[in-house]
């Protein structure tokens, strides 16, 4: 493995290039690498414009991996950063085909762009779909939460106090989050301590609503 600054090249990447050369793909390999370079530059440029610091760019046998701290990046910006790579490839495919007349480079960029848009977790398309679903779930919950608080507030003629509304809101949020985590987020599992936390919240509902 070779590393210099924020660039890391794994042995798998070097082995893949060597195998491609030994297989007689030396004429196509530079086109593929150029398309991949433009793809990653699209991601890097989008992250830079979004104000996100790139920590590491790793080249492996399965492609490139960008490590960046996107925890505080809004969903729309993170989705755009994720789709920036395939978007660059698709634009270049159009430019090379229509303006330059180079259909080989156009095909390489088109193939790479479309492939990365597939809804597979390890690809840009899967990541963008995951972010879109996460954003949609939060937006869906918020759209119901605000009018529900207004209709339920005792100050506006509803049946619940602000304390009761807050507990109801937390219970609904936790139920929605749990369903989303179990169905879509496979990186973590539901454990006993989570169930204990849910039980505490049920007890909170009991005491808050106790007259």
The predicted pLDDT at position 21 comes to 78
Residue ranges of the chain whose pLDDT lies below 50:
none
pLDDT score for 187: 60
Given the residues 40, 55, 78, 164, select the one marked as catalytic: 40
Cα atoms in the Cβ-side hemisphere of radius 13 Å centred on 167? 16
- What is the distance between the alpha carbons of residues 206 and 138, in angstroms, rounded to a whole number? 26
Cα-based torsion angle of the residue sequence 135, 141, 146, 151 in order, rounded to the nearest 10 degrees: 170
The reported pLDDT for the residue numbered 87 is: 95
On whether the CB atoms of residues 209 and 168 are closer than 8 A, the answer is no
Reply yes or no on whether 40 is catalytic: yes
pLDDT recorded at residue 114: 94
Range list of H helices, the chain: 11-22, 29-49, 75-95, 103-116, 124-152, 162-184, 192-209
Closest CA to 112 of 100, 99, 96: 96
For 41, 161, 167, 196, the CA distances from 164, given in Å and listed in that order, are 51, 5, 5, 21
- What pLDDT, on the 0 to 100 scale, is given for residue 104? 84
φ, ψ for residue 187, nearest 5 deg: -80, -15
Backbone angles phi, psi at 123, to 5 degrees: -105, 170
SS3 of 8, please?
strand
With helix as H, strand as E and coil as C, how does 48-64 read? HHCCCCEEEEEEECCEE
For residue 59, report the phi and psi dihedrals to the nearest 5 degrees: -100, 120
- pLDDT of res. 99: 83
């Amino acid at each position: 493995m070779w590393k210099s600054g924020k660039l890391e090249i794994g042995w798998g990447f070097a082995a893949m290039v060597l195998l491609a050369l030994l297989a007689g793909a030396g004429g196509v390999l530079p086109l593929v690498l150029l398309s991949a370079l433009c793809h990653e530059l699209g991601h890097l440029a989008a992250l830079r414009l979004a104000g996100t610091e790139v920590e590491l760019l790793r080249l492996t046998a399965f492609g490139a991996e960008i490590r960046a701290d996107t925890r505080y990046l809004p969903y729309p910006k993170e989705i755009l950063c994720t789709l920036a790579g395939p978007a660059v490839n698709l634009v270049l495919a159009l430019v090379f085909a229509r303006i330059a007349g180079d259909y080989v480079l156009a095909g390489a960029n088109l193939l790479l762009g479309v492939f990365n848009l597939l809804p597979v977790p390890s690809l840009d398309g899967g990541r963008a779909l995951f972010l879109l679903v996460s954003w949609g779930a939060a937006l869906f919950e918020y759209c119901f939460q605000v009018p529900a608080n207004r209709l339920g507030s005792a100050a506006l003629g509803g049946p619940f106090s602000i304390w009761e509304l807050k507990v109801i809101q937390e219970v609904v949020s936790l139920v929605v989050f749990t369903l989303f985590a179990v169905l879509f987020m496979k990186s973590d599992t539901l454990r006993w301590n989570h169930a204990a936390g849910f039980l505490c919240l049920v007890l909170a509902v009991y005491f808050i609503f106790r007259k």
